[in-house]
């Protein structure tokens, strides 16, 4: 059986804790590897290597840092297929979906290659009598990212790309469920010319997380995961004086107006609700048809589509989605389906009994569809994170607008309509961070920023886009005056421009 250690100081090293976790192949249910779970000493070794390497990297000019990122992009593209297969085998998503996972991460690295421009400060000549003023952006030092299982390439690259481009050293604590791709990315960064110690991978569980949050030399922490853990990390890291950005759970709604193209809306719901087995923070988990007639038309078209979903192994190019990540998560999602039935929702399509011939031990769940779900039900309130779609019928537009706005999460929402006035009004008024208009998964492109509101996001700055460069740098403002412009005598009042 393969053993996975850590990547520290440019080398793959075994753990010192004596603890390990099992890494499964979800499509077969077999254990494929053991991953070391870091101790505080392991984390500290990564910090020491990062601290030693970071000053020289920060002193490297931005163009040269960008060239390393460009070389890294080239190397990843050369291994695109093998990385996607490795990702799919550990996560469970299909290979085409795994390629999308990698590509969306690379797009942020591509954006980060613009670091020579993105780190430019400001300059004002003659801000006062004989006074010039300018600002500069400087890296924070050693920073860390704690990333989830559902995007083992994309989210680590969302964190690492901008952080490294800015001149920081980066420590990644990926999910222990699928650590192989992050480890390979670390090797490719090194091969691209990144100095040893600038990108480190420390695998682990809560012990490693707490070590990151408490380490005095780590200046900033980024996290993506559940809201409860996001809140915990935000509070503990902030209490320790760190800069923090944490992104939590979601309950993404899709509003279907009476004038929507129903075939287009159903296609969108099928892909956004069931793709990657629903294990996406931007998955649509609530469909909100407006009006009884709209709801009836939606259900009529949706039921046969859910029933005909093709669930298969990750390596099947024709599969719509693959297995869930672990048996424990499969059992959790099934328990939510049980709960929905107990709560009185109407289960129109029941995927709990799904079995795949030849893969009976895999972590598979057929598509599940609930109708007549109400906002007081737990299956509406909680993030299920599986192939389960709930239909909540809204009597009118006002109720449809209110549902996502009053939900405790505020990650993403979509509206499907042909009415430009309705779409504009919705985008202006809905209390959610990312909006799609006839777009079911409104993940912004890399040069815009990604982030939700309410319990979907903790912290002032979002992921990727210009916000990422603000997060990973500190601003220094310089006011200068040279002797020829200096008046004689002391000045005791506060300087002004009058």
Q: Are both 224 and 304 inside the same structural domain?
A: no
Q: What is the CATH number of the domain that holds 351?
A: 3.40.309.10
Q: Are both 40 and 155 inside the same structural domain?
A: yes
Q: Are both 260 and 325 inside the same structural domain?
A: yes
pLDDT at position 484 over 60: yes
- Residues acting as catalytic residues: 281
Name the nearest CA neighbour of 178 among 212, 155, 162.
155
Q: Are both 32 and 162 inside the same structural domain?
A: yes
Q: What is the CATH number of the domain that holds 111?
A: 3.40.605.10
- Using alpha carbons only, what angle is made at residue 426 by residues 422 and 427, rounded to the nearest 5 degrees? 120
What residues make up the domain containing 418?
252-437
- Is residue 411 in a domain? yes
Q: Are both 194 and 270 inside the same structural domain?
A: no
| CA-CA-CA-CA dihedral for 369, 371, 376, 381, to nearest 10 | 30
pLDDT at position 107 over 60: yes
Q: Kindly report whether the global pTM for this prediction surpasses the value 0.85.
A: yes
For the chain, helix, strand, coil in percent to 5 are 40, 25, 35
- Total domains in the chain come to 2
Using 50, 70 and 90 to split pLDDT, how confident is the model at 487?
low
pLDDT of residue 483: 77
pLDDT of residue 485: 57
- Is residue 360 in a domain? yes
pLDDT at position 486 over 80: no
Using 50, 70 and 90 to split pLDDT, how confident is the model at 129?
confident
How much of the chain, in percent, has pLDDT values that exceed 90? Answer: 94
From 437, 466, 489, give the residue that closes a domain.
Answer: 437
Element (H, E) at 145: strand 142-146
pLDDT at position 498 over 70: no
- Is residue 451 in a domain? no
Q: What is the mean pLDDT of the chain?
A: 96
- Is residue 172 in a domain? yes
Q: Are both 287 and 301 inside the same structural domain?
A: yes
- Is residue 107 in a domain? yes
Using 50, 70 and 90 to split pLDDT, how confident is the model at 130?
confident
CB 333 within 8 A of CB 364: no
Q: Are both 154 and 278 inside the same structural domain?
A: no
- Is residue 87 in a domain? yes
From 405, 437, 469, give the residue that closes a domain.
Answer: 437
Q: Are both 212 and 300 inside the same structural domain?
A: no
Question: pLDDT, tens digit, for every residue of 164-194?
Answer: 999 999 999 999 999 999 999 999 999 999 9
Question: pLDDT, tens digit, for every residue of 15-62?
Answer: 899 999 999 999 999 999 999 999 999 999 999 999 999 999 999 999
- Is residue 259 in a domain? yes
Question: pLDDT, tens digit, for every residue of 403-443?
Answer: 999 999 999 999 999 999 999 999 999 999 999 999 999 99
pLDDT of residue 98: 97
- Is residue 489 in a domain? no
Q: Are both 184 and 139 inside the same structural domain?
A: yes
């Amino acid at each position: 059986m393969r053993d996975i250690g850590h990547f520290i100081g440019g080398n793959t090293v075994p753990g010192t804790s004596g603890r390990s976790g099992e890494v499964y192949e979800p499509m077969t249910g077999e254990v494929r590897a053991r991953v070391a779970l870091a101790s505080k000493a392991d984390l500290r070794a990564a910090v020491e290597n990062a601290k030693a390497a970071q000053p020289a990297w920060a002193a490297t000019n931005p163009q040269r840092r960008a060239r390393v990122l460009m070389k890294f992009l080239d190397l990843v593209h050369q291994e695109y297929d093998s990385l996607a297969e490795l990702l799919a085998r550990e996560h469970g998503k299909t290979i085409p979906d795994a390629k999308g996972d990698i590509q969306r991460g690379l797009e942020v690295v591509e954006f980060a290659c613009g670091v020579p421009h993105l780190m430019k400060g400001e300059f004002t000549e003659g801000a006062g009598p004989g006074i010039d003023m300018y600002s500069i952006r400087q890296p924070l030092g050693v920073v860390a990212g704690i990333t989830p299982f559902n995007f083992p390439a994309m989210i680590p690259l969302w964190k690492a790309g901008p952080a490294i481009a800015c001149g920081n050293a980066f420590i990644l604590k990926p999910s222990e469920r699928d650590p192989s791709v992050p480890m390979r990315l670390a090797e490719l960064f090194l091969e691209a010319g990144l100095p040893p110690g600038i990108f480190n991978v420390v695998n682990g569980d809560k012990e490693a997380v707490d070590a990151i949050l408490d380490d005095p030399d780590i200046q900033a922490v980024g996290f993506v995961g559940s809201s409860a853990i996001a809140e915990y990390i935000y509070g503990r890291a902030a209490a320790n004086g760190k800069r923090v950005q944490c992104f939590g759970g979601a309950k993404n709604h899709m509003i279907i107006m009476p004038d929507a193209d129903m075939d287009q809306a159903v296609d969108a719901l099928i892909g956004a609700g069931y793709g990657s087995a629903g294990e996406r923070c931007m998955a649509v988990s609530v469909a909100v048809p407006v009006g009884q007639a709209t709801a009836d038309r939606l259900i009529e078209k949706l039921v046969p589509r859910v029933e005909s979903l093709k669930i298969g192994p990750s390596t099947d190019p024709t599969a719509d989605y693959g297995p869930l990540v672990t048996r424990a998560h499969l059992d959790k999602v099934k328990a939510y389906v049980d709960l929905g039935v107990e709560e009185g929702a109407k289960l129109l399509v029941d995927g709990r009994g799904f079995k795949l011939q030849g893969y009976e031990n895999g972590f598979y769940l057929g598509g599940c569809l609930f109708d007549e779900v109400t906002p007081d039900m737990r299956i509406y309130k909680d993030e299920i994170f599986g192939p389960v779609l709930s239909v909540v019928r809204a009597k009118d537009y006002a109720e449809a607008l209110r549902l996502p706005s009053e939900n405790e999460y505020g990650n993403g929402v979509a509206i499907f309509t042909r009415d430009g006035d309705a779409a504009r009004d919705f985008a202006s008024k809905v209390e959610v961070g990312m909006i799609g208009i006839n777009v079911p998964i409104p993940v912004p492109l890399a040069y815009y920023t990604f982030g939700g509101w309410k319990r979907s996001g903790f912290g002032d700055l979002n992921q990727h886009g210009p916000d990422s460069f603000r997060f990973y740098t500190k601003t220094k403002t310089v006011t200068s005056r040279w002797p020829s412009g200096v008046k004689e005598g002391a000045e005791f009042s506060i300087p002004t421009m009058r």
